[in-house]
Amino acid sequence: MRKVLSMTLMIGVFMAFTALNAFAVKKTTTIHVEGMHCKNCSASVTKALKAQDGVQKVDVDFEKGTAIVDYDDEKVTEQKLREVINSTGFKVVDQKSS
């Protein structure tokens, strides 16, 4: 009986932990950036975004003028990502993210 109870408790804790992790959703956003005419300059956008806690993957395409970012929305917001890009001297433009 004791074993069954402890097993049930362990399973319960495991399920609760899994459920908590499920809330930390990985989000992907495409941010449109103006002024990225030079590949060697736009590397700073990648660098600044990657330095943010919660950012998991960054793909900057200077020709398309986009930054595709995978991030944990519990740690960083899209607004913060936009501010980080603006701080690198480029300008985030409002276009609907995919």
Residues that bind other proteins (CB under 8 A): 35, 38, 40-41, 43-48, 51, 87-90
> Strand (E) positions, the chain?
26-34, 55-61, 66-72, 91-93
Comparison of 26 and 47: residue with beta carbon closer to other proteins: 47
| Cβ proximity to other proteins, 12 vs 89, nearer residue | 89
The residue assigned the tokens 């956008």 is: 45
Q: How far is the CB of 38 from other proteins (least distance, A)?
A: 7
Residue position matching structure tokens 């402890």: 6
Our CB check for other proteins shows the closer of 45 and 76 to be 45
DSSP one-letter code for 2: H
